[in-house]
A and B are shown apart, each in its own frame.
Chain A
Amino acid sequence: MLLIPCPWCGARDESEFTCGGEAHIRRPADPDALDDAHWADYLFMRANPKGSHRERWCHSHGCGRWFNVERDTVTHGIVSVYRMGEPPPGGDGS
């Protein structure tokens, strides 16, 4: 079981949280200009890396707030936790 450090509540059991999947997926700036392939990429395609993964989590059975977690998908080790809107530690979140 993961022990997840919520930025507001501190370390809590995984069972209090919900994972919202890959973080930093930007809504298209100009949706009308997007073709089908780009819509597919935005809606469905995911990085799904083996290793470091930036994802959104919600402390759904706690404070109810969303935040970002950088986590290793093999070891499950949590590398960093940062708030929504903050740039990821270690760079590029675009």
Chain B
Amino acid sequence: MTRYSIFSLARNAMGYHRSWPRAWRSPQPRPSYDIVIVGGGGHGLATAYYLAKEHGLSDIAVIEKGWLGGGNTGRNTTIIRSNYLWDESAHLYEKSLKLYEGLSQELNFNIMLSQRGVLNLAHNEHDLKELSRRVRAIRLNGIDSEILDPQGVKAEVPIANISPSLRYPILGASLQRRGGIARHDAVAWGFARAADARGVDIVQNCEVTGIDIADGRVQGLETTRGRIAARKVGLVAAGHSSVLAAMAGLRLPIESHTLQAMVSEPIKPVLNSVVMSNTVHVYVSQSDKGELVIGAGMDGYNSYSQRGSFQIVEGQMGALIELFPIFSRLSLLRQWGGIVDVCPDASPIVGKTPVDGLFINCGWGTGGFKATPGSGWVFAHTIARDRPHALNAPFALERFASGVLIDEHGAAAVAH
């Protein structure tokens, strides 16, 4: 792997940037691997990277039915935060945030992490009490979080109207200063490049059509590019998790829905932090290019179509304009949909399955991007050691039988 640096930039500038090497190879899949990760999004690529880096394994392939990061990794609103209510979630998402904080240096790839702060607005007495409860719980877990009064919100978000006479007045907010945004494609590309450098084969345009299981143990995968034998298989397929699990005879507590997001035309800097309002039902940040990134409404029925209903866009715009009337004359540049895998308790499933050698990482639903490195880190540990790490042990599939659910519906930026 050629290290990216000011010197390599200068050297390549001399050659008119025609000699940059490919960031990762594009190998033919071999007939057999020790470990195969299904799904070449951020979580799958991170899993492969940490398997190689933390556990010294290299006979690994990541197979992806489309292109790298073309699913939810490239479709989210790029927000990173760890302000979750329950201990289990707080520890897992905080692990991820900490990994994010060193990721550009570690991967030698600029993921453009910008810790510009994430605000959750309160618009009524109940919101204030709920935010207060959350901030205290989050701080007890050692995670930064604070409460702002309306003047504090105004200082962070000068375009906010803090007049008490609005229909949805801003009465306060919680703020996680270490939260922010990152370049989502770069996270996938950085992990891909670093995993490839450690010997991981990344195989695109390779769709799984069947999972071979004999005597309760996974043997390999049937794919559109031939059979691939594997001692262990990790399924990291987000919206298509139920489809893959069905190939192994498993049922998951997951429904796939279309979640939409959109960006406006680019404008000059106007919004310096991520602003979320559950009550008005919108969240918005401004990208480095100047576009407002706006999310996110979900269609209320199962879908694998990656395109959402128009009235969701309309509702989303209504909420944005309610909160920030200043944006009313902006044009939308584009909108898109991704298929999110929603669990009944809005928490992920990361762990083993009843099939030996088959592991699953899914159910991140509407909020998986922030968890990308942490998810890969704990999933790699689970696959390498054949048992979950303490951080992901509570997120086992068995919790739906034991009843120890981790209800994080309230941790979403907006209710879905």
- Which residues of chain A have a CB within 8 Å of any CB of chain B? 1-2, 14-15, 18-19, 21, 36-37, 39-41, 43-50, 53, 55, 71, 73-76
Contacts and interface: CB of A to CB of B under 8 A. Distances in A.
B240 interface: yes
B402 interface: yes
A48 B255 CA distance: 6
Contacts of B242: 46-50
A76 B309 CA distance: 11
A62 to B, nearest CB: 16
Given A14-B311, A18-B300, A50-B243, A74 B305 contact: yes
B251 A46 contact: yes
A76 B303 contact: yes
B158 interface: no
A36 B251 contact: no
A1 B310 contact: yes
A45 B251 contact: yes
Interface in B288-315: 300-305, 309-311
A36 to B, nearest CB: 4
Contacts of A37: 401
Given A15-B311, A40-B401, A73 B302 contact: yes
B344 interface: yes
Given A1-B311, A39-B401, A40-B401, A48 B305 contact: no
B57 interface: no
Contacts of A74: 303-305
Given A45-B251, A45-B400, 15 more contacts: A1-B310, A14-B309, A19-B301, A19-B302, A21-B255, A37-B401, A40-B400, A40-B401, A43-B400, A46-B253, A46-B255, A48-B302, A50-B240, A71-B301, A74-B305
A45 B309 contact: no
Contacts of B251: 41, 45-47
A46 B252 CA distance: 6
Which of A2, A14, A55, A75 counts the most chain B CB atoms within 10 A?
A14
17 contacts: A1-B309, A1-B310, A1-B311, A2-B309, A19-B301, A19-B302, A21-B302, A40-B253, A41-B251, A44-B344, A45-B253, A46-B254, A46-B255, A48-B255, A49-B243, A55-B301, A75-B305
B285 interface: no
Which of B240, B301, B311, B401 counts the most chain A CB atoms within 10 A?
B301
B256 interface: yes
A7 B309 CA distance: 22
